[in-house]
Amino acid sequence: MINIALPKGRLGEKVYAMFEKAGFPCPALLENSRKLIFDNAEAGVRYFWVKPSDVAIYVERGAADVGVCGKDILLEYRPEVYELLDLNVGKCRMAVAAPEGFRDNPNRTLRVATKFSRIARDYYASRGRDIDIIHLNGSIEIAPILGLSDVIVDIVETGTTLRENHLEVIETIVPISARLIANKSGFKFKTEQIERLVKEMGKEVEQP
Partner 1 sequence: MQIEDRVMDSQERIGFLLRGLYAGRGYSRYRMSKFEEYDLYSRNKDFLFSDGVITFTDTNGRLMALKPDVTLSIVKNTRDVPGTLQKLYYHENVYRVASAEDGFREMTQVGVECMGSVDSACVAEVLKLAAESLRLCSEEFVLEISHLGILGAFTDAVAADEEMRRKLLQCVTEKNAHGITLLCREAGLPDSAGEPLRQLTALYGTPRSVMPRIRKLAEENGAAEYAEELARAAAAFAGSETEDRIRIDFSASGDVKYYNGIAFKGFISGIPGSVLSGGQYDRLMRRMGRKDLAIGFAVFLNMLERLAEGGRTDD
* Site for partner 1, rule CB under 8 A: 60-62, 80-86, 182-189, 191, 195
Nearer to partner 1, 2 or 85 (CB): 85
Nearer to partner 1, 80 or 171 (CB): 80
Residue 160 to residues 27, 31, 128, 164, Cα–Cα distance (Å): 34, 32, 31, 6
Output the smallest distance, CB 137 to partner 1, in A.
15
List the alpha helices (DSSP H) in 45-183: 55-60, 71-77, 117-126, 142-145, 160-164
Element of type H or E holding 18: helix 10-21
Output the smallest distance, CB 66 to partner 1, in A.
12
Output the smallest distance, CB 89 to partner 1, in A.
14
Who contacts 81 (Cβ-Cβ below 8 Å, separation ≥6)?
A: 56, 59, 60, 74, 181, 182, 183, 184
Nearer to partner 1, 151 or 190 (CB): 190
Output the smallest distance, CB 135 to partner 1, in A.
12
Nearer to partner 1, 109 or 191 (CB): 191
